[in-house]
C-alpha cells in the first residue's frame, strides 16, 4: 500500500517545529491502517498468532493482565492492541506499541519461514511499511522515526536524512555492531531526556568505531585508550589520506575536542554540589556530531580497504 499524493499535502506548509508530547488521533488511525494493510497479507491464523504475542509482551511490560482489563467480552488480540493504542495509551506506551508491532513486521518473513519451511511472499514489504510510518510521522509534524527497529527522536529532519541515516547505514553491519548498539542507545537516552547518558554513549560510539577500525587494520592500541589516543593512532596510520591533510586540517580538532570535550564538561565527571543539567540542544548537537564523525571515519576506512 502506498501513501497517496493529495492536493492538501502538496500545498501544506513545510514543518518548522516537531512535537514530542503526543501522537495526534489522525496519526494513530493512519498507523493502524498501515498495520492492517501489512497483516492482511498473512493467513488469519498466522496473523492472530503475531497479535497474541504482541499483546502478551505489552501486557507484561505495562504490568497488566490484559490491555482491556475491565472488558469481559472476548476480543481478538489485534483488537485489544489497536483499541488500547488508539484510546488509552500514553505517549510512551504508544511509542512502545509501535516499536513492538514493527519488530514483528520486520521479522514476519523470518518467523514464517522457520515454521513453514518456505518463503512468505509479500507485495507490501516491511521496508516500505517502515518508510510509510516515518512519512506519517513527518506529515503530522511528530518528531520521531523508526530506525533499525527502534523509535528515535529527531529534532531536525534534514540533519536526520543527511547525517543520522547515512551513519546508521554504515554502522548496520556485523563488523560495527557494537558501535551501532551504542549509537542506538544514545538515541534511546535522548528520547527519554537522559541527556548525560546520551553524551556518554555518543563518546562510546566514536571510540568503539575507531577501535574496530584499528582491529580491522591490525593497528596496535589498548582497550582503555581514550578518544584522543585513538584519534592519534588513526592519523598516524593515515586513515585520512596524507594528500587530504591540508583540506581536513580541522578534522583532528573536531575529533579530539568536539565530542570528548563536550562529554567531559557536561556528562563525564562528578556534579559536585550543583546538579548539572545537559540541555536538549547540546545532546542533539552531540548526536549529529557523532553521526557525521562516524560516517567520515568509516568512509575513510572503506576507501583505504578499497586501495589494492
- Based on the fold, state whether residues 148 and 224 are members of the same structural domain: no
Q: Which residues contact 116 (CB under 8 A, 6 or more apart)?
A: none
Q: What pLDDT shows up at residue 218?
A: 94
In a domain, 95, yes or no: yes
Q: What pLDDT shows up at residue 77?
A: 92
The DSSP call for residue 144 is: E
Among residues 96, 124, 153, the one where a domain terminates is 153
pLDDT exceeds cutoff 70 at 299: yes
In a domain, 21, yes or no: yes
Do the Cβ atoms of 176 and 280 come closer than 8 Å? no
**Read out DSSP for 62-93?**
HT-S-SSTT--S---HHHHHHHHHHHT--HHH
DSSP H or E stretch at residue 269: none
**Nearest-CA neighbor of 146 among 207, 88, 96, 71?**
96
In a domain, 132, yes or no: yes
- Based on the fold, state whether residues 122 and 199 are members of the same structural domain: no
Mean pLDDT over 262-288 rounds to 69
Per-residue pLDDT tens for 59-118? Answer: 999 999 899 877 656 678 999 999 999 999 999 999 999 999 999 999 998 888 877 767
In a domain, 30, yes or no: yes
The torsion angles phi and psi of 258, rounded to 5 degrees, stand at -65, -75
- Based on the fold, state whether residues 127 and 236 are members of the same structural domain: no
pLDDT exceeds cutoff 80 at 233: yes
Query: What CATH number corresponds to the domain at position 223?
Result: 1.20.120
Cα gap 204→202, rounded to integer Å: 5
In a domain, 1, yes or no: no
Cα gap 210→298, rounded to integer Å: 9
Q: What pLDDT shows up at residue 258?
A: 56
Task: Work out the percent of the chain whose per-residue pLDDT is above 70.
Answer: 80
In a domain, 186, yes or no: yes
Q: Which segments of 174-241 does DSSP mark as H helices, in order? A: 177-191, 195-217, 227-236
pLDDT exceeds cutoff 60 at 22: yes
- Based on the fold, state whether residues 200 and 287 are members of the same structural domain: yes
Rounded to the nearest integer, the mean pLDDT of the chain is 83
pLDDT exceeds cutoff 80 at 159: no
- Based on the fold, state whether residues 192 and 136 are members of the same structural domain: no
The DSSP call for residue 294 is: H
In a domain, 2, yes or no: no
- Based on the fold, state whether residues 118 and 213 are members of the same structural domain: no
Exposure of 279 in the CB half-sphere (CA atoms within 13 A) = 3
- Which residue is associated with the grid cell 591533510? 245
Least confident of 46-55, 178-187, 268-277: 268-277
**Nearest-CA neighbor of 236 among 207, 258, 214?**
214
The three three-digit cell numbers of residue 60, written as one number:
507484561
In a domain, 158, yes or no: no
Cα gap 237→217, rounded to integer Å: 9
Among residues 153, 179, 196, the one where a domain terminates is 153
Cα gap 146→148, rounded to integer Å: 7
- Based on the fold, state whether residues 149 and 15 are members of the same structural domain: yes
Q: What pLDDT band is residue 188 in, cutting at 50, 70 and 90?
A: confident
Mean pLDDT over 112-136 rounds to 87
- Based on the fold, state whether residues 126 and 193 are members of the same structural domain: no
How many domains is the chain partitioned into structurally?
2
The three three-digit cell numbers of residue 108, written as one number:
514476519
Give the N- to C-terminal CA distance of the chain in Å, as an integer.
45
pLDDT exceeds cutoff 80 at 39: yes
- Based on the fold, state whether residues 123 and 14 are members of the same structural domain: yes
Among residues 118, 153, 188, the one where a domain terminates is 153
Range of the domain at 14: 7-153
- Based on the fold, state whether residues 43 and 178 are members of the same structural domain: no
**Nearest-CA neighbor of 178 among 219, 206, 150, 152?**
206
pTM over 0.75: no
Q: How far is CA 143 from the centre of its chain?
A: 12
Q: What pLDDT shows up at residue 281?
A: 82
- Based on the fold, state whether residues 167 and 132 are members of the same structural domain: no
- Based on the fold, state whether residues 235 and 141 are members of the same structural domain: no
Per-residue pLDDT tens for 148-158? Answer: 899 988 876 76
Q: What pLDDT band is residue 167 in, cutting at 50, 70 and 90?
A: confident
Amino acid at each position: 500500500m502506498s501513501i497517496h499524493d493529495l492536493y492538501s499535502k502538496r500545498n501544506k506548509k513545510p514543518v518548522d517545529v516537531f512535537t514530542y508530547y503526543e501522537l495526534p488521533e489522525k496519526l494513530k488511525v493512519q498507523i493502524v491502517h498501515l498495520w492492517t494493510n501489512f497483516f492482511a497479507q498473512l493467513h488469519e491464523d498466522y496473523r492472530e498468532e503475531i497479535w497474541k504475542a504482541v499483546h502478551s509482551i505489552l501486557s507484561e511490560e505495562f504490568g497488566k493482565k490484559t490491555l482491556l482489563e475491565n472488558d469481559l467480552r472476548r476480543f481478538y488480540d489485534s483488537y485489544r492492541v489497536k483499541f488500547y493504542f488508539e484510546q488509552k495509551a500514553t505517549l510512551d506506551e504508544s511509542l512502545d506499541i509501535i516499536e513492538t508491532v514493527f519488530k514483528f513486521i520486520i521479522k514476519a518473513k523470518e518467523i514464517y519461514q522457520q515454521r513453514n519451511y518456505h518463503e512468505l511472499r509479500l507485495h507490501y514489504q516491511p521496508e516500505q511499511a517502515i518508510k510509510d510510518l516515518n512519512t506519517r510521522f513527518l506529515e503530522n509534524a511528530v518528531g520521531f522515526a523508526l530506525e533499525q527497529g527502534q523509535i528515535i527522536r529527531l529534532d531536525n529532519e534534514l540533519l536526520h536524512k543527511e547525517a543520522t541515516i547515512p551513519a546508521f547505514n554504515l554502522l548496520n553491519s556485523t563488523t560495527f555492531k557494537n558501535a551501532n548498539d551504542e549509537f542506538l542507545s544514545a538515541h534511546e537516552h535522548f528520547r527519554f531526556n537522559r541527556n548525560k547518558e546520551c553524551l556518554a554513549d555518543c563518546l562510546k560510539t566514536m571510540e568503539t568505531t575507531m577501535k574496530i577500525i584499528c582491529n580491522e587494520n591490525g593497528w596496535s592500541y589498548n582497550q582503555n585508550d581514550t578518544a584522543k589516543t585513538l584519534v592519534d593512532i588513526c592519523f598516524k596510520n593515515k586513515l585520512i589520506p596524507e594528500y587530504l591533510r591540508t583540506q581536513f586540517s580541522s578534522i583532528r580538532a573536531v575529533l579530539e575536542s568536539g565530542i570528548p570535550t563536550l562529554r567531559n564538561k557536561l556528562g563525564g565527571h562528578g556534579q559536585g554540589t550543583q546538579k548539572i543539567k545537559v540541555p536538549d540542544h547540546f545532546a542533539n548537537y552531540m548526536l549529529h556530531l557523532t553521526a557525521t564523525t562516524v560516517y567520515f571515519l568509516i568512509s575513510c576506512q572503506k576507501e583505504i580497504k578499497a586501495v589494492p
